[in-house]
Amino acid sequence: MAQVHIEVRPGAYRDSVSLLEVSRAVASSPGVEDAIVAMGTPLNVDLMRELGFHLDQPSPNDLIIAIRAIDQAAIINGLSTMAAEFSSIDQRARSASGDGQLAPPRSVGRAHDADLALISVPGTGAFAEAIDALEAGQSVMLFSDNVPIWQEIILKEFASSRNLIVMGPDCGTAVIGGVGLGFANVVRPGPIGIVAASGTGAQQVLALLDLAGVGITHCIGVGGRDLSAEVAARSTMSAIAALAEDPDTKTIVLISKPPAAEVAELVRSSTSAISKPVVFALLGEGSPDLTKTTEEILGTIGVVVPDWPSWGEVSTLRATGKYLRGLYSGGTICDEAMVIAANQLGQIRSNIPLRAEWKHDPFAESIEHTFIDFGDDAMTVGRAHPMIDSTLRIERLHKEMADPSCGVIIMDVVLGHGADADPAPALSSAISEAHDHGQKTPVIISLIGSSGDPQGLIRQAEILSGVGAFVTVSNATAVNIAISLIQMNEAS
Amino acid sequence: MNELRGLLQNNNLKIATAGVPLLADALSDQLVPISRIDWRPAVPGSQEALNRVMADGRRDGANSLALARMLAAGALLVDVRQAKDALGLEPGTFLHAGPPLTWERASGPMRGALLGGTIFEGIASDAETAEKILSSGGIDWEPCHHRDAVGPMAGVVTPSMWMFELLDPTTGNRSWCSLNEGLGKVLRYGAYSGEVIDRLRWMREVLGPLLKLAVQRRNESPAGPIDVQAILAQMIQMGDEGHNRNRAGTLMFLRDLLPDLIESGAANSDVATSARFMGGNDHFFLNLVMPACKLQTMAARNIPGCSVVTVMARNGTDFGVQVSGTGDTWYTGPAEIPVGLFLGSYTEKDANPDIGDSAITETAGVGGFAMAAAPAIVRFIGGTVPDALAATRRMYEITVGENVSRGIPVLEFRGSPTAIDVTRVIRTGILPQINTGMAGRIAGVGQVGAGLVNPPMECFEGAIQGLAQAAPQVG
């Protein structure tokens, strides 16, 4: 029994030539017997009646869709052919330049076929661009920082209401379906889905998983403030829900600083109905470090923890002074290192101090144990991020090596998309230069990178260890070694 | 599998990038298809207001509604009436183009047109007397837009002038415009010599009444009223852009009306003179395009939270803009001098700043916005064909949507860019493109050229502040 579909769309004008094209395409879709898509002019309505479509006289400004097909499925098929045909006509028009000169769009919303917008404009302009993207149906990765929290809340509310997500603001790292956004490591496909409120924290976990032979589905960044009481985990909840539904994701990992109590409750209750394991990797004092967390994740999928690779010989290293100095480009791993170090060594001065009274001006000389996060907002004003440009860190390295109170230096080197294309040579020549001046302070490198990163993990490690630096892929290991060298020096 | 619209299951991600080129390069290195945005900071001083307007949850829906209403508005020519009857224009009251203006600040062509109007109405017999009356407050005047009317160039309307009356059947709104006088020395360009006044009198005594008869006959015929919107859609596909080129539109209008003119019973000689007058003036139909465009933008008025421009108009001194979300408030800035070609030996020094309500065409998505449809005029206004294509394409960046009933052939029938969004002007710094005629700066000279002009950014800077004040407070 043939099915008939007649639909009137008031005011939906299309020109007659386009409509002929569309009608022809619908009529030739499988199972469709007759199809007319036309404006409701008297002529067209007569034509439809001759084909046995019965309809009242519509307005000439109404678009009429009339389809007869063998069954309902064929009608639905015909309608989707129609939608595709209209969209291909629109696409043809939008990409027509007339003279071949197409200027690039001036706002993300005008990139009509984009699914996602990666926005890294200055913070004051970021909100308008992000709203525009959401209105155009694009999810957003908001790399920009200095976005006020009220704007973040509006963006995230709006995104949830449209079934979209805002990753950020101040989101440095994400991997969506293998595509690295911002500072992201090259990862293999695998069963782990990550939600991360911390960029370098996520990179440490991504890199270690990769070195254990384990891949990920996605790493969804949410921005450092997402689990604050004000933002109330809006993006985290959307990300967890999406990973819960994603068939390829077997284990969900949330990497974050400890959230506000009510937010933690909110997140836990949202995960209670999820049948997949959810691992909370909370950073900070009293929590396991990222290496231990990664080992726990491996446990949930029954993968044996490997020996984390390192390059260099610890036994040959001797601290040259009493104090530990940390020169970091990644905020979260700097924080992780300070938590471990403070536990053993006590007060650690820093521009991102664990306690307010340990605050230290990063441009002033180091005092006792001092850690500097060179990626902190205040240090990147008018300057590229230290993962891209290591000039400041290398200057500081020279100073610390010349300082007799400095016993051991710990640094991170972050690889992956977006980062310095070849960081090791500049760093190793700075170390050699210091050695030439008789400065022998040991340098411990926490090398955050996966086996597939474009810089070449092993090559970077070998260049650095070639000048006597000790290199390890685990930040926790790196800091523990540095601490033990300091302690050995004190004991002797 | 619908969470985040399938983002996580999309194996063919397409990404738009705005900001740091390095991050875009990193995506290109991964062979991900990207669209690099040519992003620029917002107009200085407007960022905070812009953010408030962007945060207004009503804006997106309001703008879509404004566009839908603009696209749904029709324009039927239902009558031709004198301004005193159609608009209730009292004796001694005139209308003019653009935002409100005093005699002291009025430019040469505006003064010339007001002088001419005073003489035409018989209030003064010569320019000297007329000037005394006008400068001493003897005549009241207000913008055409305040009465839902539009007037090209000086746009001076006096009570006895005949007006086209257009009806939007969707909303029931009506709009009016005077009859076009032709080119050369004409009142709308500020000329008021004897020949100008004589022509106006002929229009009042012969052309106006004849058009009224013909339009009435046409309305009562089975064909019904002339559909100005339908002619407008067709003329865009015939090389007109509806502001500086109205040749095809004028001929189609004449074709539609001629049988009723002939059968009106008027003297053959009057019919012939009128047909010759209308057919000999390529801009005759402009005065029908303008009220049709006004009906479109009227349909989009007064939508709370809406950042769509509903009026752009110039009085020869100021450029004025109105925005849907803030009703009748004018946002003004100094009118600029157009850039283009000059007639005869005139130069830029002879040109008056931008004048006329005809920028209503661009407000409704034709004129400069449809330049790509009118390659024949690009040289006349001092451009090249690629310039015209680029101009139309640029306007898509600042408009809410497209009018598919006005497909531009060379752009694969892409609809003309429609509904100017103040937030997009402020974000991109792209100003609306207006095609225009140029009036001489001295009263009485008439047209000196034609060219391109933009509104001053001040209009949009004012509008974004006004919208921000009207937005709900957040943050």
- Helix (H) / strand (E) element for B410: namely none
Q: Is the dihedral of CA B95, B99, B104, B105 positive or negative?
A: negative
Indicate whether A98 pLDDT > 80.
Answer: no
Q: What is the average pLDDT across B190-201?
A: 95
Q: What is the pLDDT of residue B382?
A: 65
Question: Is the model more confident about A477 or about B383?
Answer: A477
Q: What is the pLDDT of residue A198?
A: 87
Q: What is the pLDDT of residue A254?
A: 95
Q: What is the pLDDT of residue A65?
A: 93
For chain B, say whether A435 makes contact (Cβ under 8 Å): no
For chain A, say whether B69 makes contact (Cβ under 8 Å): no
Q: What is the pLDDT of residue B475?
A: 66
* Shortest CA distance from B68: residue in chain A: A11
Q: Which domains does chain A have, with CATH numbers?
A: 3-94 (3.30.70), 110-300 (3.40.50.261), 310-491 (3.40.50.261)
Per-residue buried b or exposed e for A433-458, using 16+ beta carbons within 10 Å of the residue's own CB: ebeeeebebbbbbbbbbbbebbbbbe
Calculate the CA A354 to chain-centre distance: 25
For chain B, say whether A101 makes contact (Cβ under 8 Å): yes
For chain A, say whether B234 makes contact (Cβ under 8 Å): no
For chain A, say whether B84 makes contact (Cβ under 8 Å): no
* Shortest CA distance from A18: residue in chain B: B413
For chain A, say whether B50 makes contact (Cβ under 8 Å): yes
For A29, which DSSP code?
A: S
Q: What is the pLDDT of residues B105-164, one digit of tens each?
A: 999 999 999 999 999 999 999 999 999 999 999 999 999 999 999 999 999 999 999 999
C-alpha dihedral (B276, B277, B281, B285), degrees to nearest 10: -100
Indicate whether A237 pLDDT > 90.
Answer: yes
Q: What is the pLDDT of residue A308?
A: 97
Measured between beta carbons, the chain A residues lying within 8 angstroms of B51 are: 124, 127-128, 151
Which ranges of B208-299 would DSSP assign to H, the alpha helix?
208-220, 228-236, 247-262, 268-279, 286-299
**In A, residues 131-150, which contact B (CB 8 Å cutoff)?**
131-133, 135, 137-139, 143-144, 148, 150
| Rounded Cα gap, residues A150 and B55, in angstroms | 10
Listed residue (A217, A247, A251, A223) closest to A235, CA to CA: A223
Supply the ipTM of this predicted assembly. 0.94
Per the CB < 8 Å rule, is B8 touching A243? Answer: yes
> Closest to B390 (Cβ–Cβ): which among A103, A124, A217?
A103
Per the CB < 8 Å rule, is A118 touching B412? Answer: no
Per the CB < 8 Å rule, is B4 touching A242? Answer: yes
Break chain B into its structural domains and give their ranges.
59-70+303-470, 75-289
Per the CB < 8 Å rule, is A105 touching B38? Answer: yes
Q: What is the pLDDT of residue A72?
A: 93
| Rounded Cα gap, residues B286 and B205, in angstroms | 22
| Rounded Cα gap, residues B455 and B370, in angstroms | 17
Measured between beta carbons, the chain B residues lying within 8 angstroms of A108 are: 16, 18, 37
Q: What is the pLDDT of residue B381?
A: 66
The answer to whether residues B203 and B190 touch, using CB atoms and an 8 Å cutoff, is no
Q: What is the average pLDDT across A77-103?
A: 84
- Percent over 70 (pLDDT), chain B: 99
**In A, residues 2-31, which contact B (CB 8 Å cutoff)?**
11, 13-15, 17-18
Per the CB < 8 Å rule, is B1 touching A139? Answer: no
Q: What is the pLDDT of residue B371?
A: 94
Calculate the CA B150 to chain-centre distance: 9
Per the CB < 8 Å rule, is A177 touching B427? Answer: no
Q: What is the pLDDT of residue A99?
A: 67
Q: What is the pLDDT of residue A325?
A: 98
Q: Measure in Å the smallest separation between the Cα of A163 and chain B Cα atoms.
A: 5
Q: At A216, list the tokens.
A: 């990920």
CATH class of B75-289: alpha beta
Which ranges of A190-233 would DSSP assign to H, the alpha helix?
199-211
For chain B, say whether A87 makes contact (Cβ under 8 Å): no
Q: What is the average pLDDT across B48-76?
A: 97
Homologous superfamily (CATH) of B59-70+303-470 is v583 domain like (3.90.1700.10)
- Helix (H) / strand (E) element for A71: namely none
For chain B, say whether A274 makes contact (Cβ under 8 Å): no
The identity of residue A309, as a single letter, is P
* Shortest CA distance from B41: residue in chain A: A125
For chain B, say whether A238 makes contact (Cβ under 8 Å): yes
The answer to whether residues A396 and A431 touch, using CB atoms and an 8 Å cutoff, is no
Measured between beta carbons, the chain B residues lying within 8 angstroms of A150 are: 474-475
Per the CB < 8 Å rule, is B386 touching A93? Answer: no
Question: Is the model more confident about B469 or about A261?
Answer: B469
Q: What is the pLDDT of residue A344?
A: 95
Q: What is the pLDDT of residue B1?
A: 53
Distances (CA, A) of B461 to A71, A249, B47, B145, B427: 57, 49, 10, 21, 11
- Percent over 90 (pLDDT), chain A: 76
Q: Do domains B59-70+303-470 and B75-289 have the same CATH topology?
A: no
| Rounded Cα gap, residues A373 and B60, in angstroms | 41
Measured between beta carbons, the chain B residues lying within 8 angstroms of A125 are: 39, 41-42, 47
Indicate whether B387 pLDDT > 80.
Answer: yes
Across B287-413, where does the E strand assignment appear?
A: 309-315, 318-323, 331-334, 339-342, 355-356, 399-408
Measured between beta carbons, the chain B residues lying within 8 angstroms of A93 are: 407, 411-415
Q: What is the average pLDDT across A280-289?
A: 87
CA atoms within 13 A on the CB side of A193: 23
Measured between beta carbons, the chain B residues lying within 8 angstroms of A221 are: none
**pTM score above 0.95:** no
> Closest to B412 (Cβ–Cβ): which among A14, A93, A163?
A93
pLDDT band at A100 (very low <50, low <70, confident <90, very high): low
Per the CB < 8 Å rule, is B23 touching A151? Answer: no
Per the CB < 8 Å rule, is B474 touching A150? Answer: yes
Per the CB < 8 Å rule, is A106 touching B38? Answer: yes
Per the CB < 8 Å rule, is A154 touching B474? Answer: yes
* Shortest CA distance from B230: residue in chain A: A61
Measured between beta carbons, the chain A residues lying within 8 angstroms of B35 are: 104-105, 111, 113-114
Which ranges of B237-267 would DSSP assign to H, the alpha helix?
247-262
Q: What is the pLDDT of residue B344?
A: 80
Rg (CA), chain B: 23
pLDDT band at A227 (very low <50, low <70, confident <90, very high): very high
> Closest to B22 (Cβ–Cβ): which among A128, A180, A388?
A388
Measured between beta carbons, the chain A residues lying within 8 angstroms of B16 are: 105, 108, 111, 114, 116-118, 133, 138
Across A435-486, where does the E strand assignment appear?
A: 443-448, 470-472
| Rounded Cα gap, residues A3 and A223, in angstroms | 52
| Rounded Cα gap, residues B55 and A463, in angstroms | 51
- Residue B200's SS3 state is helix
Q: What is the average pLDDT across A143-160?
A: 95
> Closest to A106 (Cβ–Cβ): which among B8, B30, B428?
B428
Indicate whether A311 pLDDT > 60.
Answer: yes
Terminus-to-terminus CA distance in chain B, angstroms?
A: 35
Question: How many pairs of residues across A and B have Cβ atoms under 8 Å apart?
Answer: 217
Which range has the worst mean pLDDT, A188-192, B84-88, B388-392?
B388-392
Q: What is the pLDDT of residue B51?
A: 97
For chain A, say whether B385 makes contact (Cβ under 8 Å): yes
pLDDT band at A45 (very low <50, low <70, confident <90, very high): confident
For chain A, say whether B227 makes contact (Cβ under 8 Å): no
Q: What is the pLDDT of residues B262-320, one digit of tens each?
A: 999 999 999 999 999 999 999 999 999 999 999 999 999 999 999 999 999 999 999 99
Per the CB < 8 Å rule, is B8 touching A454? Answer: no
> Closest to A128 (Cβ–Cβ): which among B35, B54, B372?
B54
Per the CB < 8 Å rule, is A98 touching B410? Answer: yes
> Closest to A11 (Cβ–Cβ): which among B17, B26, B72?
B72
Listed residue (B420, B300, B313, B417) closest to B358, CA to CA: B313
Q: Is the dihedral of CA B259, B265, B270, B274 positive or negative?
A: negative
Q: What is the average pLDDT across B89-104?
A: 97
Measured between beta carbons, the chain B residues lying within 8 angstroms of A122 are: 19, 41
Q: At A21, list the tokens.
A: 């094209």
Contacts 24+ apart (CB under 8 A), A422-426: A422/A455, A422/A460, A423/A390, A423/A455, A423/A460, A424/A455, A424/A459, A424/A460, A424/A461, A424/A463, A424/A464, A425/A463, A426/A390, A426/A394
Percent composition of chain B: helix, strand, coil (DSSP 3-state, to 5)? 45, 20, 35
Per the CB < 8 Å rule, is B18 touching A182? Answer: no
- φ/ψ of residue B232, rounded to 5: -60, -45
| Rounded Cα gap, residues B128 and B115, in angstroms | 9
For chain B, say whether A417 makes contact (Cβ under 8 Å): yes
Q: Measure in Å the smallest separation between the Cα of A101 and chain B Cα atoms.
A: 8
| Rounded Cα gap, residues A150 and A132, in angstroms | 17
- C-beta atoms surrounding A357 within 10 Å: 8
| Rounded Cα gap, residues B103 and B123, in angstroms | 17
Q: What is the pLDDT of residue A89?
A: 86
**In B, residues 168-207, which contact A (CB 8 Å cutoff)?**
none
Beta bridge partners of A7: A65
